[in-house]
A and B are shown apart, each in its own frame.
Chain A
Amino acid sequence: MIELRNISKSFGANHVLRDVSLKVDQGKSLAIIGGSGTGKSVTLKCILGLIKPDSGEILIDNQSIEGQREAFFAKFGMLFQGGALFDSLPVWHNVAFRLLQGERSKEECRDIAIQKLKRVGLQERVADLFPAELSGGMQKRVGLARAIAADPEIIFFDEPTTGLDPIMSGVINELIREIVTEMGATTMTITHDMTSVRAIADHVAMIHEGKVQWHGPVADMDAASDPYLSQFLTGSAQGPIEAVR
């Protein structure tokens, strides 16, 4: 279980997060939606410890994450927006990066990497290529394979479909859904792609101007009366959210 309690963060006079509280239950998927620059990424980075919140508390299984990040990362995987693959290393080494630091032999790590690559729909020959030799969709798949390589209990997806064509987006969404279900992982996804939200998530939290504007199950989303959420869902230029930011 992941819980954020009253997280606030400012950069100078810019209040990026104001008193954000969120909760994801074990084995559930939360999608965080909101326009660009509303604080979605900062929320994620606070959990990862890459940004230190000014106030508030982050709990993993009811324990504060402070001082426990190593333990947290050990059961954690993440798909980065641009893939963030290490371009100096071949694909299989990227996928097996965490495994290679453990006790396992190189051959064993490579076998697991190839198995994970197959799971995300990539052939064995891809294993020895370098990330720069792959298409955008393939890079996402490799990023996904790396995120699940060590069978994590918690997975974060940062804009998993950004930059992909609609069909490839659909494929990646489906893969994420399948893999998360079969692994039983707890996940958080940042996105502004509503197709993605409907495909991946159980719950939705909409962040606007650093605050949680709406929070609820995906099924309740369309019937919700929140004007901010409705505007976001319809993608209208008219409404409470200013179109010029």
Chain B
Amino acid sequence: MTYPIHILAAIGRATIAFFASIGSVTLFIAHTIRAIFAPPYYPREILKQFIAIGYFSLPVVGLTALFTGAALALQIYAGGARFNAEAVVPSIVAIGMVRELGPVLGGLMVAGRVSSSIAAEIGTMRVTEQIDALTTLSTDPMKYLVAPRTLAATIGLPILAGIGDVIGIMGGYLVGTTRLGFNSGNYITNTIDFLETADVTSGLIKASVFGFIIAIMGAYQGYNSGRGAQGVGRATTNAVVSASVLILAANYILNELFFFA
């Protein structure tokens, strides 16, 4: 008789834990946004994080975009050949990269690189009492640690995605002109003619949202890290997993809003 009650209790516990974590993430986000806008500001920290998050992610994002663009060109060519539509390669590569693959794959790669490092750094600071030390030195850790990282990622990701878009289209161009027999001039004209401003801006806005998610999940998990090496390890894993899943979910929701609302 007690067996079904145990199951119910387990479901209840999981549900409560789920909503509790949604609540605490929401509060954390509200706190972060307040910390970004209210003084004091730490421009040096923002610049430092901008370099760590943006500049040092360039190789990862660039290589991801290059190979994705190249692979996309091959796939579209092969697929298009089934109904004699090989000519769409340049335009579809451009639209696919700019609207979807640039921001999403770039975001996921940066999530792996940046969410984990933010979670590990802030988690270690939590475990070694450095965050408590900041408080006693009259410095709000949300303003000094979380706000600069969030700001840097939110601004940095669209820039990375923009660069990724260009490199991805170039990857498609290289494959298109060397392997698929496209004329160089035609390829470029086709790319430019079919691409609309809304394609680019929607991709960049998505990247900005992904940047925000990456920094917030890293910071949230690190800030609430458990004790010891195990606690920091778990925070790091949780940061990458939650940031990646949230990026994909946010991507779907934003696509609905941008293109079907």
Residues of A near any B CB (own CB < 8 A): 45, 48-50, 70, 73-74, 76-78, 80-82, 84-87, 97-98, 101, 146
Give the complex CA separation of A84 and B129 in angstroms. 5
Given pairs A84-B133, A98-B137, 14 additional interface contacts (CB within 8 A) = A45-B132, A48-B135, A73-B136, A73-B137, A74-B138, A78-B133, A78-B136, A82-B128, A84-B128, A86-B130, A97-B139, A98-B138, A101-B40, A101-B138
B 183-212 binary contact with A (CB < 8 Å = 1; else 0):
000000000000000000000000000000
Complex: A80 Cα to B132 Cα, angstroms: 9
Number of chain B residues whose Cβ lies closer than 8 Å to a Cβ of chain A: 13
Those 10 A-B pairs whose CB atoms lie nearest each other, nearest first = A84-B133, A84-B129, A73-B138, A80-B129, A78-B136, A98-B137, A84-B130, A97-B137, A82-B128, A80-B133
Q: For B125, B132, B134, B139, which residue has the most chain A Cβ atoms within 10 angstroms?
A: B132
Q: How far is the CA of A50 from the CA of B40 in the complex (A)?
A: 21
B130 CB to closest chain A CB (Å) equals: 5
Q: Which residues of A contact B133 (CB under 8 A)?
A: 78, 80, 84-86
Closest chain A residue to B129, Cβ basis: A84
Question: What are 21 A-B interface contacts by the 8 Å CB criterion?
Answer: A48-B135, A50-B132, A50-B135, A73-B135, A73-B137, A73-B138, A76-B136, A77-B136, A78-B133, A78-B136, A80-B132, A82-B129, A84-B128, A84-B129, A84-B130, A84-B132, A84-B133, A85-B133, A97-B139, A98-B137, A101-B40
A70 contacts which chain B residues (CB < 8 A)? 138
Distance in angstroms from B224 CB to nearest chain A CB is 14
Collect the chain B residues with CB atoms within 8 Å of residue A101's CB. Answer: 40, 138-139
Q: Which residues of A contact B135 (CB under 8 A)?
A: 48-50, 73
**Cα separation A9 to B125 with both chains bound (whole Å):** 25
Query: Contact flags (1/0) for B240-256 with A, using CB distance below 8 Å?
Result: 00000000000000000
Are A81's CB and B130's CB within 8 A? no
B120-156 contacts to A, CB under 8 A, are 125, 128-130, 132-139
Cβ contacts under 8 Å, A84 to chain B: 128-130, 132-133
A48 to B137, CA, bound (A): 11
Q: Which residues of B contact A97 (CB under 8 A)?
A: 137, 139
